Amino acid sequence: MPKTTTIDPLSRLLCEKLKSLRKNQGWTLEMLSAASGVSRSMLSQIERGKANPTLAVACRIASAFDISIGELVEEPWSGSSIKVIRRNDPTHQYRTDSQCRIRTLSPLNTEKTVEFYELAISPNAELRSAPHFEGTREFLTVEKGSVNVLSGTDSCKLSKGDSAHYRADLDHVISNCGKGEAVCFLVVVYT
């Protein structure tokens, strides 16, 4: 007769939470393994309720999702209602190269219809984007410098303190037209 195993409530919560966080992030087991430093096979066993992680493994998994270990194992309503994204958190650096830096200011581990970014665009550089899903709009506010915004065939120039919103379901470009770095805040709204 095969041995039946029952998963204790805490283990069940952990395996369900891990699956949910990973799927909401859009990560495969391999991607989570790379982000956490925990082997793919161990992650698979945890998700299936076949293994209980050590404290060190649970900490690495929580860190990959930018949550506390308490949030990983507690019910959602028992954690703090304030979530902080630190300026130097490398998991929120979406892109960093000679053209621009993009830092996401939105939570990484939740499904969302709104995304919030900080953009820093080098002089004479641009952020060129392919069309997003139909109905998507972007809201851009310039904090420093000046930029040109192109959405389809329409364009405008924005300076410090200016804001614009435009269709992002067309090809769109944000280019730095000033002599120094341009810093902007970008909100993407998916409908």
- Does residue 41 share a domain with residue 18? yes
pLDDT higher for 161 or 82?
161
- CATH number for 67: 1.10.260.40
- Does residue 98 share a domain with residue 181? yes
**30 lies in some domain:** yes
- Does residue 169 share a domain with residue 114? yes
**29 lies in some domain:** yes
Domain enclosing residue 46, as ranges = 9-78
Given this model, what pLDDT does residue 4 score? 46
**3 lies in some domain:** no
- Does residue 73 share a domain with residue 107? no
Select from 78, 110, 131 the last residue of a domain: 78
CA distance 132 to 122: 24
The tens digit of pLDDT for each residue in 126-154 reads 999 999 999 999 999 999 999 999 999 99
Mean pLDDT of the chain: 87
Q: Which of 45, 16, 14 is nearest to 29 (CA)?
A: 45
CA distance 188 to 129: 12
Q: What is the number of structural domains in the chain?
A: 2
Task: For residue 44, count CB atoms less than 10 angstroms from its CB and return exposed for 0-12, middle for 13-18, buried for 19 or more.
Answer: middle
Contact 36, 64 (CB under 8 A): yes
CA distance 124 to 126: 7
- Does residue 98 share a domain with residue 68? no
- CATH number for 119: 2.60.120.10
- Does residue 108 share a domain with residue 57? no
CA distance 15 to 53: 10
pLDDT band for 1, please (50, 70, 90 cuts).
very low
The tens digit of pLDDT for each residue in 100-135 reads 999 989 877 666 788 999 999 999 999 999 999 999
Q: Tokens 């002599």 label which residue? A: 179
